[in-house]
Amino acid sequence: MKFTTLLASAAMALGLATSAMAEDKTKVGFVYVGPVGDGGWTYEHDKGRLAVEEHFGDKVETVFVESVPEGPDAERVMTQMALDGADLIFTTSFGYMDPTINVAKKFPNVKFEHATGYKTADNVSVYSARFYEGRAVQGHIAGKMTESNIIGYIGSYPIPEVIRGINSAYLHAKAVNPDVEFKIVWAYTWFDPAKEADAATVLIEQGADVILQHTDSTAPQAAAQEAGNVVTFGQASDMSEYAPFPRVSSIIDNWAPYYIARTQAVMDGSWETVNTWDGIREGMVEIGEISDRVPADVKEEALAMKAAMAAGEYHPFTGPINKQDGSVWLAEGEVADDGTLAGMNFYVEGLEGEIPQ
């Protein structure tokens, strides 16, 4: 196709021009789905970008565009970054998957990194974080700390990522507290702080004294604080403004090490297509400080579990685990494979209710 050639040659010409002008300045682009001020998902990605700038100083130039809708707008923003001479582009939302692949085809010399997707190409890598490892730690603490034995869970949409977190938290809460019950509320929104506040309040009113959230705002934290004796965990960012109580710990997305490593790889010319799914071991998932309101022995157990996962000795989905309908999913000692985990669309045994379809 003529147009593709035109784009490619323009990029090539520009690539030559920039490399002649600024010998070793690597340009890294970031496409964000929300505003950098969302205090959650995009905020953490932007912290990763700033870490890249800090780490490499004058050797890199980073650019970003925020609040880019998924679809043709994303495709245009990526193309524009590539035309402007970006060497590496991080696209940080699942919905950017096909646009990333499309643009990558037109710019074979630009490297692309797509977050949370599953399509790779010669110049497209994918990366994601094993948040469910953090959920396991949360589940453990939650199971130990609940007195009403009711744990509330606020989900965004019923997608594998969220379902995985629910299963992981439930299994580990159940392991330490056989009487535990999960109440799950789907907010059907990625972002609506007021609705998240309502959801948390409802769960608390129905007896939950621990709230886990898979939404990014601090609204549930505030609701728990008001209720008084309800435990929460920070999500996406540390939410330490609610520590030491109600927020007793948190899962933090830490993209910085990965972003720095991949930028380095582009600089060295050692960049290759990878399918990264990193967790606690690699530092992509961090457990925020466990506050003193957690009993010392529980804190110790939680940290031990974290250490075991960091050492690669423990997998949160280790058999025997049955599915909700009682059928066997994992036999004794068997560990879940990444394929099943990636597309997880079932609850484990003991969870009540159905996943909305």
Residues 150-209 binding other proteins (CB under 8 A) are 152, 157-160, 183-186, 188-199, 201-203, 205-208
Smallest separation, CB 48 to other proteins (Å): 16
Per CB under 8 A, 354 contacts other proteins: yes
Smallest separation, CB 105 to other proteins (Å): 12
The DSSP string of 74-108 is: HHHHHHHHHHTT-SEEEE-SGGGHHHHHHHHHH-T
Smallest separation, CB 260 to other proteins (Å): 20
Per CB under 8 A, 289 contacts other proteins: no
Q: What is the dihedral of CA 111, 280, 236, 295, to 10 degrees?
A: -170
The strand order across the sheet containing 231-236 reads 181-186, 150-155, 210-213, 231-236, 247-253, 285-288
Encoded one letter per residue, x for contact with other proteins by CB under 8 A and - for no contact, window 214-253 reads: ---xxx--x--------------x---xx-----------
Contact by Cβ (8 Å): 262, 22: no
Q: Which of residues 47-106 bind other proteins (CB under 8 A)?
A: 63-73, 75-77, 79-81, 83-84, 94-95, 98, 102
Smallest separation, CB 229 to other proteins (Å): 15
Per CB under 8 A, 25 contacts other proteins: no
Per CB under 8 A, 131 contacts other proteins: no
Please pick, from the candidates 253, 344, 347, 348, the single residue that binds other proteins as defined by CB under 8 A.
344
Using the contact rule CB under 8 A, the part of the chain among 126-134, 166-174, 250-258, 336-344 near other proteins is 336-344
Per CB under 8 A, 258 contacts other proteins: no
Reduced 3-state DSSP string for 145-199: HCCCCEEEEEECCCCHHHHHHHHHHHHHHHHHCCCCEEEEEECCCCCCHHHHHHH
Smallest separation, CB 23 to other proteins (Å): 21
Nearest to 120 by CA among 263, 262, 276, 269: 276
Smallest separation, CB 138 to other proteins (Å): 19
Site residue total, other proteins (CB under 8 A): 83
Using CA atoms, how far apart are residues 122 and 106, in angstroms rounded to an integer? 12
Residues with Cβ within 8 Å of residue 122, at least 6 apart in sequence: 108, 273
Per CB under 8 A, 312 contacts other proteins: no
Contact by Cβ (8 Å): 177, 148: no
Smallest separation, CB 314 to other proteins (Å): 25
